[in-house]
C-alpha cells in the first residue's frame, strides 16, 4: 500500500516538474535565439515592444559564430507579429550596431517605416553604416549624447568583377540608401552626400563620424535623449493615435 502511494505521488508531481523545466528551457532558447525573453506574441504585460538591433546586421551570408549579429530572418517575422498583435500599441527600436548587409538593413528599415503603429528609435553606442536608415525609419528618433553614426559610401567585399555594370549596380544601391534616409529624416540629399564622401574625417575610409548633437544639427536624428525620453515620446504618440482613431469613429 505504501509503495503505491509513493508511486502515485511521484506520478502526480512529475508533470509539474516537467512543465517547469519546459518553461525554463523555452526561456533559455528564446534568449539564445533572439536575444530577448519574450517575442511579440507573448508581450501581454506591456503595450510597448522593444526591438533591438545590435552587433552586425546579417544578410544572406552567415557570419562567423564569434560575431554578434542581428539576423534578418529573426527580425522580419517579429515585425509582422508586432503589426498583427492588438496588445502591442507601439515599438521602441534600440540600435547599437556597426552596420552590415545593405539589403537586409533596408528591408528592416522599410518594414519599420510601414508599420501602422507608432515607432520610436534610439541610437545607443552606435548606429553606423546601414544602421543609419534603420534609425531614421521610425516616427521619431533619439540619439544618446555620446553615441555615433558613421556615414560612408556603400562598399563591396570579396570578388568584384571590374566591369561598368558592377559600378552601376553599386551606385544604384547607394542611391537607394540615400533616398530612404533623406525621405525619412530632415537632412538634405546634398548634405548627406557631403558627409558620405568627406575626406579626412575617417582614418582608413572616406565618410563622416557624426556624434550625438551633430546628428541632430544635420537633421538626421530628431533629438538627443535616452531611454526615458524615448518611452515618454512613444506613449505620447500612442495617445495621439488613439485620440485620432476615436475622432475618425465619431465622424463616421
Query: Does 37 map to a domain?
Result: no
What pLDDT score does 19 carry? 59
Does one domain contain both 49 and 27? no
Does one domain contain both 186 and 231? yes
Does one domain contain both 87 and 172? yes
Q: Is 42 or 131 the better-scoring residue by pLDDT?
A: 131
DSSP 92-149: EEEEEEEEE-HHHHHHHHHHHHT-SS-EEEEEEEEE-TTHHHHHHSSSEEEE-TT-EE
State percent of the chain over pLDDT 90: 56
CATH code, domain carrying 170 = 3.90.226.10
**Which pLDDT tens digit goes with each residue over 155-187?**
777 667 777 777 888 888 899 999 999 999 999
What pLDDT score does 195 carry? 92
Q: Is the dihedral of CA 153, 224, 70, 48 positive or negative?
A: negative
- In this prediction, residue 139 has a pLDDT band, given cuts at 50, 70 and 90, of very high
| Residue 129 among the catalytic residues | yes
Query: Does 76 map to a domain?
Result: yes
Does one domain contain both 154 and 222? yes
Q: Is the dihedral of CA 220, 221, 222, 223 positive or negative?
A: negative
What pLDDT score does 2 carry? 46
Catalytic residue among 121, 129, 137, 185: 129
What is the domain range of residue 8?
1-32
Does one domain contain both 27 and 52? no
Does one domain contain both 4 and 89? no
What pLDDT score does 178 carry? 94
Query: Does 131 map to a domain?
Result: yes
Does one domain contain both 128 and 185? yes
Does one domain contain both 71 and 146? yes
CA 120 – CA 179 distance, rounded (Å): 20
Q: What is the mean pLDDT of the chain?
A: 84
Cell of 117: 503603429
Query: Residue 197 pLDDT > 70, yes or no?
Result: yes
Closest CA to 118 of 94, 83, 84, 143: 83
Residues in the chain: 252
Does one domain contain both 25 and 51? no
The whole-model pTM stands at: 0.78
Query: Residue 41 pLDDT > 60, yes or no?
Result: no
**Which pLDDT tens digit goes with each residue over 55-76?**
999 988 888 888 888 998 899 9
Does one domain contain both 13 and 137? no
Does one domain contain both 113 and 27? no
Count of domains observed in the chain:
2
Query: Does 38 map to a domain?
Result: no
Does one domain contain both 65 and 159? yes
Cell of 137: 525609419
Catalytic residue among 121, 135, 141, 152: 152
| Residue 60 among the catalytic residues | no
Amino acid at each position: 500500500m505504501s509503495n503505491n502511494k509513493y508511486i502515485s505521488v511521484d506520478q502526480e508531481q512529475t508533470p509539474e516538474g516537467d512543465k517547469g523545466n519546459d518553461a525554463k528551457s523555452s526561456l533559455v532558447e528564446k534568449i539564445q535565439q533572439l536575444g530577448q525573453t519574450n517575442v511579440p506574441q507573448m508581450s501581454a504585460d506591456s503595450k510597448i515592444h522593444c526591438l533591438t538591433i545590435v552587433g552586425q546586421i546579417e544578410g544572406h551570408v552567415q557570419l562567423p559564430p564569434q560575431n554578434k549579429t542581428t539576423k534578418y530572418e529573426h527580425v522580419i517575422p517579429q515585425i509582422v507579429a508586432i503589426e498583427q498583435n492588438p496588445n502591442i500599441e507601439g515599438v521602441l527600436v534600440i540600435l547599437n550596431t556597426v552596420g552590415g548587409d545593405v539589403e537586409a538593413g533596408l528591408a528592416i528599415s522599410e518594414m519599420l517605416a510601414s508599420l501602422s503603429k507608432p515607432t520610436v528609435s534610439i541610437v545607443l553606442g552606435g548606429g553606423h553604416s546601414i544602421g543609419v536608415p534603420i534609425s531614421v525609419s521610425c516616427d521619431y528618433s533619439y540619439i544618446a549624447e555620446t553615441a555615433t553614426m558613421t556615414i560612408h559610401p556603400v562598399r563591396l567585399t570579396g570578388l568584384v568583377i571590374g566591369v561598368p555594370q558592377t559600378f552601376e549596380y553599386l551606385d544604384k544601391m547607394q542611391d537607394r540608401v540615400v533616398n530612404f534616409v533623406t525621405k525619412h529624416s530632415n537632412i538634405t540629399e546634398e548634405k548627406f552626400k557631403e558627409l558620405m564622401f568627406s575626406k579626412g574625417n575617417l582614418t582608413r575610409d572616406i565618410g563622416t563620424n557624426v556624434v550625438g548633437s551633430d546628428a541632430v544639427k544635420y537633421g538626421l536624428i530628431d533629438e538627443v535623449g535616452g531611454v526615458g525620453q524615448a518611452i515618454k515620446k512613444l506613449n505620447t504618440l500612442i495617445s495621439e493615435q488613439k485620440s485620432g482613431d476615436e475622432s475618425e469613429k465619431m465622424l463616421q
